[in-house]
Amino acid sequence: MGKSDFKNGDGEEERSQEPVDVFWTGGWDSTFRVIKLLADGKNVKPHYIRDPGRPSTESELAAMRRLRELLENHPGVSGQLYESKIVSRYDYPAVEEIQEAYNELIKIRYIGDQYRWIPEYCRHEGLDSIEVSVESDNEFLRKHYNDEEYPFGVLFQSLEFPLIKYSKIDMKEWCEKQGFMDVMELTWFCHTPTKAGSPCGTCRPCIIVMERGLDYRMPLSARYRYHLRILPRIKGFLKRYSRIYAVLVKTKSELKK
151: cis peptide before it, omega within 30°? yes
* 8 Å CB contact between 164 and 145: yes
110 located within any domain: yes
Tell me, yes or no, whether 28 and 152 share the same domain: yes
Q: Which residues, 6 or more positions from 149, have their beta carbon under 8 angstroms from its beta carbon?
A: none
pTM, two decimal places = 0.81
The whole domain housing 120 covers 20-160
Give the model's pLDDT for residue 2: 42
166 located within any domain: no
pLDDT in tens, the chain (257 residues): 444 444 445 554 444 579 999 999 999 999 999 999 999 999 999 999 999 888 999 999 999 999 999 999 999 999 999 999 999 999 999 999 999 999 999 999 999 999 999 999 999 999 999 999 999 988 999 999 999 999 999 999 999 999 999 999 999 999 999 999 999 999 999 999 999 989 999 898 999 899 888 888 999 999 988 888 766 556 666 666 666 656 656 665 655 44
SS3 82: coil
Amino acid at 9: G
CATH value at residue 57: 3.40.50
Give the model's pLDDT for residue 21: 99
Tell me, yes or no, whether 129 and 204 share the same domain: no
Tally of domains in the chain:
2
Secondary structure letter of residue 127 according to DSSP: -
Tell me, yes or no, whether 90 and 154 share the same domain: yes
183 located within any domain: no
The last residue of a domain, from among 120, 139, 160: 160
The last residue of a domain, from among 160, 176, 207: 160
Tell me, yes or no, whether 29 and 155 share the same domain: yes
Tell me, yes or no, whether 34 and 144 share the same domain: yes
Tell me, yes or no, whether 154 and 207 share the same domain: no
Tell me, yes or no, whether 73 and 136 share the same domain: yes
96 located within any domain: yes
Helices (H) and strands (E) in the chain, counts: 12, 5
59 located within any domain: yes
Give the model's pLDDT for residue 10: 52
Give the model's pLDDT for residue 55: 92
Give the model's pLDDT for residue 212: 83
For residues 183-219, one letter each, b for 16 or more C-beta atoms within 10 angstroms of the residue's C-beta and e for the rest, the string is: bbeebbbbbbbeeeeebbbbbebbbbbbeeebeeebe
Tell me, yes or no, whether 215 and 138 share the same domain: no
* 8 Å CB contact between 244 and 110: no
The last residue of a domain, from among 160, 181, 214: 160
Give the model's pLDDT for residue 188: 96
Tell me, yes or no, whether 207 and 85 share the same domain: no
Tell me, yes or no, whether 145 and 198 share the same domain: no
182 located within any domain: no
Tell me, yes or no, whether 142 and 204 share the same domain: no
Can you tell me the distance from the alpha carbon of 129 to that of 55, in angstroms, rounded to the nearest whole number?
A: 28
Query: Among 22, 245, 10, which residue's Cα sits nearest to residue 133?
Result: 22
175 located within any domain: no
32 located within any domain: yes
Tell me, yes or no, whether 156 and 193 share the same domain: no
